[in-house]
Amino acid sequence: MPSDQSESDKSSGLNESAEDESTLIKIEVRESLTGRRLDKYLHGRLGRFSRTAVQRLIKNGEVHVDGKAVKCSYEIHGGEIIEAVVPPAEPTEIQGEDIPLDIIFEDEHLIGLNKQAGIVVHPARGIGSGTLVNGLVYYAESLSSSGGKFRPGVVHRLDKDTTGIMLVAKNDEAHWRLAQQFEHRQVEKTYLAVVEGQMELLGDLIDHPIGMHPVFRDRCAVRQTGGRQAQTFYEVTETFRGYSLLTLKPRTGRTHQLRVHMSYLKHPLVADRNYGGKLVSLADISGEHSPNSSPIIERQALHAWKIQFRHPITGEQVQLEAPWPSDFENLLEALRKYRSLG
């Protein structure tokens, strides 16, 4: 059987994103490799990634064969075009840093914290410090290793500019038990979002597959072919002239899922510039001249408000809630004052 490093395969790295420097790799499989599993093949081609990491990429929809998402067990036949969005190389070690953490809950097995805006969850190429993980390494005596050497304790993630509740595992048993709950959709997450426009329905299930954006590799998009199933339930909590406050409950956990789904409905999140949202100032909302024309919120108006799950060790039901950040509250205060519909 031919080697994974066959010179008959051609590959190229394209279009690194500005935010996380992920790279699109294209591989043309010229020589027949009948019977070789896709995950094994890519593990050989992408030497710096473990097979587990490669499988994670495939399961997350970051690998397409001839434009279609496939399973790890897909058999290579030769002649295919493989596209893979690979994350940046990870740093060699993690240094603990005294970064303020807003701890909501803590016991000997897990931590629930309120993530602030503007902080990346874990180190990556070009981002070796100042991450949430750097702060956790400094703060906690122990963290799980199940997520990998450079993601200690990380069970799930939030985008850099999304605030709110996150769970962190202190040991491997707590980690894998929590991960199972996420995998089987037994964790209920509730987000708050301020979106542009007034919704036609007071609530609905958004059921549109999501995959990588065909042009912008640091973004995702609704993809009717090649995407992975993505479901989000939304409910209108409060309506304003030109804006809406929603509660969002994702049933799946795709990258940027809530932002992509709301943008697809033509109701992007306020200030979510990657997905069509606009920055708004007090003057924009009030319609009055104001010397302060700076944006009220400079990031996507999205907050992970609540999370409900079974404690991974005791089995008891736990619900955690993260207080609303000040910029989110300031936006709502302005809308209630100047855009109220009574």
Q: How far is CA 205 from its chain centroid?
A: 20
CB 225 within 8 A of CB 68: yes
Phi/psi for 147 (5° steps) reads: -80, 0
Q: How far apart are CA 41 and CA 16, in angstroms?
A: 23
Cα separation values, 170 from 134, 137, 147, Å: 15, 11, 11
Contacts of 284 (CB under 8 A, 6+ apart): none
Q: Which amino acid is at 289?
A: H
Annotation says 284 is catalytic: no
Which tokens hold the place of 133?
A: 């993980």
CB 66 within 8 A of CB 27: no
Phi/psi for 45 (5° steps) reads: -75, -35
Phi/psi for 333 (5° steps) reads: -60, -45
CB 258 within 8 A of CB 268: no
Closest CA to 88 of 32, 146, 131: 131
Q: Which of 9, 159, 161, 272 is catalytic?
A: 159
Active site residues: 159
